[in-house]
Structure 1
Amino acid sequence: MYPQRLTKFFSIQSFHLLTLPALLISSLFASQVSALPTDREEPIYVEADAASIDDAKGITVYTGSVKITQGSMILKGDRVELYRDDAGDINQIISLGKPAHFQQQPQLDQKVTYATGNKLDYTVSSQFLVISDNAKVTQGADSFTGAKINYDMANAKVKAFSDSGSNKRVQMVLQPRSDKKK
């Protein structure tokens, strides 16, 4: 279904060029230990209006209502940039949108984590997501809102920052834990 949709936008030759980014994306999501164990075994679907690959610089750019899906992970943005290191592995993903959107279920027994902001900057090796410009992270009824949020996925830590140039402050909603024994 998805390859047929992509071939409407790209010729067969350019579709062949899209397989490289798909392989690179698979190496990214396979390295995530905080994701559902089955996510890395799922196929990767990329939808976009256009794609541009610069092999020499190690940059792939998708534009136009970009949606990348693998298992429980969904990344959406108006523009998604993938950066590769010298070994060809993806080391950074930047998603831009109004807002850009990320979601993933960390574990089977946990609720889906959602992150939105006008810019999402993910460093693969450290599993560190920086959400900026109208940043918000939500899991269940808990949420963090601020000008910028650092989300350390590997260590399940969130740090929110206010905008020093405005009166907007960090806002948090934390629900009591019902799993504690009384």
Structure 2
Amino acid sequence: MKRFFSLLLLMFSTTVAGGAHAEKADFEKPTNVEANQMAYDDVKQINTFTGNVILTRGTLVMHAQKLTVSQDPAGYQYATLLAAPGGLATFRQKRDAGPNQWVEGQAERIEYDGKTEIVKLFSKARIRRLEGTKPTDEVEGEFISYDSRAEFFTVNNTPSGENKVGGGRIKAVIQPRTESKGK
């Protein structure tokens, strides 16, 4: 169970754009999961939370209709967050990039691969970096993949992760950086 909670924090402990990491103090906080139901299969190493799932650990808050975590024989863990029909799974976490810096994301499905340390957001995917409540950068597409080891992300126009002609457009908004005078 301890590995399960470590995975969930690790899953969203890096920002998708820019290389600034999530608040380090979150690693020292307890993890709380609320859901309508939980099932754990010790033989298959699968833990499933369903029904209005809310996970909190320090500044990290995740919402989904269903959260499934599995572990392979080598001990690597994999997690999937699923939204309710017509909804979105979400996460929000403070970043160590400075005071009041946040990252938030949403998609119909969010997956984390503990072996490769890659986070994938499928269908109606969006990642935003914020300073307080003001967005600083934002990317949208049908698929976003983030490699936390390489601090590299891609945004594609189909939920399969491929770019296809006629498959839609991606969107990126990059705000100008201004330095505050008097700091």
TM > 0.5 fold call: yes
User: Is the contact made by 1:26 and 1:40 (CA closer than 8 Å) also made in structure 2?
Assistant: no
Taking every aligned residue pair, what percent have the same amino acid on both sides?
23
For residues 128 and 122 of structure 2, what CA distance do their matches in structure 1 show?
A: 15
* One-letter code aligned to 1:162: N
For residues 155 and 171 of structure 2, what CA distance do their matches in structure 1 show?
A: 8
More displaced stretch, 64-73 vs 25-34:
25-34
Which residue number in structure 1 is paired with residue 6 of structure 2?
27
User: Is the contact made by 2:26 and 2:59 (CA closer than 8 Å) also made in structure 1?
Assistant: yes
Q: TM-score if structure 1 supplies the norm length?
A: 0.77
Stretches of structure 1 that go unaligned for 5 or more consecutive residues are: 1-19
- Change over 3 Å in CA distance of 1:124–1:35 after alignment to 2: farther
User: 1:100 aligned to 2:89?
Assistant: yes
Stretches of structure 2 that go unaligned for 5 or more consecutive residues are: 15-20, 159-163
Give RMSD over aligned pairs.
Answer: 2.4
- Change over 3 Å in CA distance of 1:121–1:54 after alignment to 2: same
Specify the structure having the higher radius of gyration (Cα): 1
User: 1:131 aligned to 2:121?
Assistant: yes
Q: TM-score if structure 2 supplies the norm length?
A: 0.76
For residues 116 and 104 of structure 2, what CA distance do their matches in structure 1 show?
A: 19
- SS of match in other structure, 1:112: strand
Aligned length: 158
For residues 125 and 35 of structure 1, what CA distance do their matches in structure 2 show?
A: 20
Q: Deviations over 1:151-179 (max 9, x none)?
A: 23344332100133755200110011224
Larger relative helix fraction: 1
